Amino acid sequence: MAWRLRLAPEKTNIDFFKLQWITFGGSVVLMVLSFVAWGVMGLNYGIDFKGGTTLRTESATVIDTALYRSTLDGLNLGDVAINEVFDPSFRADQHVASIRLSAANGQDQIDNADMKRVSEALTAMDPALKIVSVETVGPKVSSELVWSSIIALAATSLGILAYIWLRFEWQFALGGVLALLHDVVITVGIFAVFQIKFDLTIVAALLTILGYSINDTVVVFDRLRENLMKYKTMPLKEVMNLSVNETLSRTLATSFTTLLAVGSMLAFGGDVIRGFSFAIFMGIILGTYSSVYVAKNLVLFLGLDRTDKPRASGKGADHEFANIDA
């Protein structure tokens, strides 16, 4: 037989429930910790959600943040934050800074006159400096964006819930969507712990995670549904293990190819989109994990009605041994 790269042996027989107090329990603990980090450390919100102005400057001169600060402090603006940006894709003489400004007290947002003073002061400080992007988000829009982000996340979750419910049983739908929330919550937790800038594109990434990571779960569920019909007497737990084992090499292969692609985006895509790529990267890892270790555990916990649908007069769900005479 020709050589083939294999991420998993041809036939596996792993008991995915064996260490469930560590795996499933670990997930629960991580989720709790994510909420704690979110609550205690807070997220490093970008101007999309907080309002304000960010500038991106580029210069051939090495950046002296203290000089930038003293230049801008003299302008009587609100808070000023200066960060130097590093990225392997930059040219040797490309020095990039990200500057966050807020308007002086009593003013909603930076206006044209403020912007003019800022750009004049910066070019006076360093004639080689160029402002390559400016973004201003007013307080009215930023508070709306918070709401529309929450609504978008909720709408996507509900849409997925409804679709899976339609195609499978409600237990699958609920289990799958709870596993998704697990992925999203932990990703947000990571953003809180590392204080990575959280803006609109990160919400877009979270939405993508919702859509992507249910993918693995659906494939497992699809196999589970098939096997449930095939092995009517096998205990639910075993059918689940069998289904996950059977789909394992596919799950790993898909996640791996996607990680390769997103990984190259993370490495070479530039700093503008790094947060977005990182969120998706984490989401894929978490999503793969949760479709193997979280989603089906939830379905098991919720229980499945394995009686045949036409025999509605049956005594109700007898999860493990229903339909013996089938």
Site residues (CB under 8 A) for other proteins, limited to 94-133: 112, 115-116, 130-133
- By C-beta, is 37 or 295 nearer to other proteins? 295
Q: How far apart are CA 48 and CA 141, in angstroms?
A: 8
Query: Which of 44, 83, 123, 249 forms a contact with other proteins (CB under 8 A)?
Result: 249
CB neighbours of residue 4 within 10 Å: 6
User: Pick from 124, 131, 135: which is nearest to 58 by CA?
Assistant: 131
Cβ distance 60 to 95 under 8 Å? Answer: yes
Residue 274, SS3 per DSSP: helix
CB of 63 to other proteins, least distance (A): 16
Compute how many residues bind other proteins; rule: CB under 8 A: 78
Select the span of 75-83, 197-205, 235-243, 304-312 touching other proteins (CB under 8 A).
Answer: 197-205
CB of 260 to other proteins, least distance (A): 4
Instruction: Tell whether residue 210 is a contact of other proteins (CB under 8 A).
Output: yes
Per-residue contact flags (x/-) with other proteins for residues 31 to 50, judged by CB under 8 A: --------------------
User: Pick from 241, 239, 280: which is nearest to 258 by CA?
Assistant: 280
Instruction: Tell whether residue 222 is a contact of other proteins (CB under 8 A).
Output: yes
Query: Which of 14, 128, 260, 326 forms a contact with other proteins (CB under 8 A)?
Result: 260
Instruction: Tell whether residue 56 is a contact of other proteins (CB under 8 A).
Output: yes
Residue 58, SS3 per DSSP: strand
Q: How far apart are CA 203 and CA 276, in angstroms?
A: 9
Query: Which of 181, 215, 232, 320 forms a contact with other proteins (CB under 8 A)?
Result: 215
Cβ distance 132 to 58 under 8 Å? Answer: yes
Query: Which of 256, 302, 319, 320 forms a contact with other proteins (CB under 8 A)?
Result: 256
Residue 4, SS3 per DSSP: coil
